[in-house]
Amino acid sequence: MTPDILTRARETALDKGEGLTEPELLEILELDDTHLPELLDLAHQVRLRWCGEEVEIEGIISLKTGGCPEDCHFCSQSGLFESPVRGVQLDIAELVEAAKQTRKTGATEFCIVAAVKGPDERLMVQLEEAIAAVRAEVDINISVSVGILTPAQVARLNAAGVKRYNHNLESARSFFPQVATTHTWDDRHRTLELVRDAGIEVCSGGILGMGESLAQRAEFAVQLAAFAPEEVPVNFLDPRPGTPFADRPLIDAPDALRATAMLRFAMPRTTLRFGGGRELTLGDLGVEKGLQGGANALIVGNYLTTLGRPMERDLDMLEGLRIPIKAVGQVI
């Protein structure tokens, strides 16, 4: 028998394209494994109706690894833990060439990322110069991810032509003090508000499996949905040696799939992108189920500090599932 919550999800998310409430999302997360196939099928129907059948592909290359002054407990880039340090060095010629190569794949987006709390004046100037150089030579949308911003910095990025800004909330507001102590959830939230108010598209997601409760996952989903983000990266904790979360257990695959479907019911029209940790948590079969259970985008290849798997394997998987690819992007 179909659970009542799935009937309500069909009426709200599938038929109307509207997100479920926080209590309803918690009900989704509390469904047992016997209802998982039906749950994933409904989430897939919602994705197809409101986002289409295409899947977006994106790759990541880190410009700056390590030395970040923040203490995000999941991240090996923190200079407070055991991580290598490399200064921010934006070679504009290399960026332009990377943008050209990215565009050749059919990508429509090129994202510049640096592991910093927020950009200083030197980095802002470098970003503006890099964005101008790329726009002058490559027909591609530009996204940026450089941490917490001031109103003046948002205005400058907007004037430079940035289309989308990535800044993850990471987890629910109630759980965030267990994730980081050198800045607050509200600091991140304010940056997203500034970005949205400036008319820049919002990309914000987080990491599942850091120790949060099911209720906090539902809380996180509605907090993300409040921004109506264009894109939500869905990562799963990959415990890194030397970090405070090094000994945390992996999230179970069924829980990860339930959470993915839950996010789709919270945001029927948003791009949900599988990111870091999917290989460990889901494996190949689980990723396939996720792409047929609410998710509609992938980060392929390696991540910022962890190894992924070759892009060719993901492309072969999508071909086997007969899922069309919207674009192959690259994050720089």
Q: What is the pLDDT of residue 60?
A: 54
Q: Which of 2, 23, 1 is CA-nearest to residue 265? A: 23
Q: Is residue 275 within 8 Å of residue 208, measured between CB atoms?
A: no
Q: What is the pLDDT of residue 310?
A: 61
Q: Model-level pTM?
A: 0.86
In the chain, which residues have pLDDT < 70? 58-71, 73-74, 76-90, 105-107, 300-312, 314-315, 318-319, 321, 323-325, 327-332
Full set of structural domains in the chain with CATH = 4-331 (3.20.20.70)
Q: What is the pLDDT of residue 127?
A: 87
Q: What is the pLDDT of residue 124?
A: 92
Residue 164's DSSP bridge partners are 143, 201
Q: Which of 29, 107, 49 is CA-nearest to residue 268? A: 49
Q: What is the pLDDT of residue 315?
A: 63
3-state secondary structure of 103: helix
Burial 238-269 (b: 16+ CB within 10 A, else e): bbbeebbbeebebbebebbbbbbbbbbbbbbb
Q: Cα dihedral angle (121, 125, 127, 128), rounded to 10 degrees?
A: 130
